[in-house]
């Protein structure tokens, strides 16, 4: 987690193994609006997660239940080097890890998707989903979990093959920028979230009013940085998976930056 202008320590790894029901038959996308993610955090809502047959567009049966992902409440952090500072509330990242008795190659041999639900009580409302596809690297596959139904959550799932005997699935979700910060009036300072995923900054270009803050969060398994051409303007240092960095930009201008580990990763902050 971060304090403005400082590098974070790892947000946290939260593993909660809860009993899940196995559902027969696909569930249609719910039409009811999802409660705000902030409400979920305050209540510590558990989000059931499953591997379904099919794709996110055409979900089929639940074939492999995963452990629930639980957000226990907004985390408060104070930087280690300034314990006298006022703690700053930041967005949350939460994880659950499960092992399913199937090889990764067998999951990839047919269409499958990882889907998260709002809660056990509102199981028909989907909040994030990602198709399990792609080419594993050394037995590891990362997939993106896209926000559904305006839930305020997005993230990543990492699947690791265990010698063809089973697959370990780590599901990571985070607050999106839209729900992590209050709506700002035109021209007012605001906070913006930039996700580092799939070896890219998203969004790649951010336009903010002077006095606003930008938070970078790395959900890739590889380490990254957010580093300006002028290091004095922006230097996050190494961000491992689940870590974040926040900086406030007071001076108008265009700040181009990149990842020191992967020079092809580039982004731009426009301060007005």
Mean pLDDT of 235-256: 92
Rounded CA-CA distance 104/134 in Å is 11
pLDDT band of residue 258 (cuts 50, 70, 90) is very high
Cα distances from 87 to residues 3, 80, 272, in angstroms, run 8, 11, 28
Segments of the chain assigned to CATH 2.60.40.420 = 185-271
**Average model confidence (pLDDT) for the chain?**
75
Mean pLDDT of 200-220: 91
pLDDT band of residue 177 (cuts 50, 70, 90) is low
- Provide the terminal-to-terminal Cα distance of the chain, rounded to the nearest Å: 27
Q: Which of 42-51, 56-65, 203-212, 216-225 has the lowest mean pLDDT?
A: 42-51
pLDDT band of residue 174 (cuts 50, 70, 90) is confident
Nearest residue to 157 (alpha-carbon basis) of 231, 220, 227:
220
Alpha-carbon torsion (61, 66, 158, 93), positive or negative: positive
pLDDT band of residue 190 (cuts 50, 70, 90) is low
* Top-confidence residue, 230 or 107: 107
- Which of 79-83, 174-178, 217-221: highest mean pLDDT? 217-221
Nearest residue to 126 (alpha-carbon basis) of 29, 23, 25, 22:
29
Give me 91's structure tokens. Answer: 């967005």
Nearest residue to 33 (alpha-carbon basis) of 181, 177, 148:
148
Residue 16 pLDDT more than 60?
Answer: no
Q: Which of 21-25, 115-119, 180-184 has the lowest mean pLDDT?
A: 21-25
Residue 213 pLDDT more than 60?
Answer: yes
Mean pLDDT of 234-254: 92
Residue 163 pLDDT more than 50?
Answer: yes
Residue 150 pLDDT more than 50?
Answer: yes
pLDDT, residue 196, reads 93
* Top-confidence residue, 191 or 136: 136
- Looking at domain 185-271, its CATH superfamily turns out to be Cupredoxins -  blue copper proteins (2.60.40.420)
pLDDT, residue 138, reads 87
């Amino acid at each position: 987690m971060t304090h403005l202008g400082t590098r974070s320590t790892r947000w946290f790894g939260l593993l909660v193994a809860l009993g899940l029901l196995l559902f027969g038959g696909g569930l249609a996308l719910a039409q009811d609006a999802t409660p705000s993610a902030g409400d979920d955090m305050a209540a510590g809502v558990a989000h059931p997660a499953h591997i379904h047959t099919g794709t996110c567009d055409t979900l089929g049966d639940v074939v492999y239940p995963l452990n629930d992902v639980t957000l226990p409440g907004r985390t408060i952090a104070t930087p280690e080097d300034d314990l006298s500072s006022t703690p700053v509330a930041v967005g949350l990242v939460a994880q659950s890890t499960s092992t399913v008795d199937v090889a990764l190659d067998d999951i990839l041999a047919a269409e499958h998707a990882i889907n998260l639900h709002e809660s056990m009580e509102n199981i028909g409302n989907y909040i994030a989903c990602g198709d399990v596809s792609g080419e594993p690297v050394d037995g590891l596959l990362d997939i993106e979990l896209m926000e559904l139904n305006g839930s305020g959550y997005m993230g990543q799932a990492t699947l690791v093959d265990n010698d063809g005997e089973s697959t370990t699935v780590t599901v990571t979700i985070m607050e999106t920028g839209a729900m992590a910060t209050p709506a700002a009036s035109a021209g007012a300072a605001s906070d913006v979230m930039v996700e580092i995923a799939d070896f890219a900054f998203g969004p790649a270009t951010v336009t903010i009013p002077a006095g606003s803050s930008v938070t970078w969060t790395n959900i890739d398994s590889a380490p990254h940085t957010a580093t300006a051409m002028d290091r004095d303007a922006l230097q996050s240092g190494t961000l491992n998976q689940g870590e974040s960095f926040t900086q406030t930009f007071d001076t108008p201008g265009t700040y181009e930056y990149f990842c020191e580990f992967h020079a092809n990763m580039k982004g731009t902050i426009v301060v007005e």
